[in-house]
Amino acid sequence: MRVLIVAIGSRSDVAPYVGLGARLHAEGYDVAVAAHDPFRSLVEEAGLELRSIPGDMHWEPPLELVDFLREVGPVPVFVGFHGTA
């Protein structure tokens, strides 16, 4: 059986999924991990295939956005729940 694990984030986000993939691989599964390229060695050293996710995981917002958010301050978020009782 083939398994694709998608792991996005920092090393502490990706590493547990690599561990899971390594265990699945040891049990006979064909495992690939989709992650950003800086984690290639982590994935491949675990004996897994890396499917590279394009993009920059260290994106920084434009200064205009940072200035705007500082000026506006915290933005209230309302989450509503709908349903029947």
Reported as a single tens digit per residue, the pLDDT across 47-78 is 999 999 987 676 666 788 778 878 887 766 66
Tell me how far apart the alpha carbons of residues 9 and 40 are, in angstroms, rounded to a whole number.
Answer: 13
Cβ count within 10 A of residue 17: 21
Does the pTM of the predicted model rise above 0.85?
Answer: no
- Reported as a single tens digit per residue, the pLDDT across 9-46 is 889 999 999 999 999 999 999 999 999 999 999 999 99
Strand, helix or coil for residue 69:
helix
Q: Report the topology of domain 2-72.
A: Rossmann fold (3.40.50)
The residues spanned by each domain of the chain are 2-72
Confirm if 38 and 57 have CB atoms less than 8 A apart: yes
Cβ count within 10 A of residue 46: 19
Burial of 32 (0-12, 13-18, 19+ CB in 10 A): middle
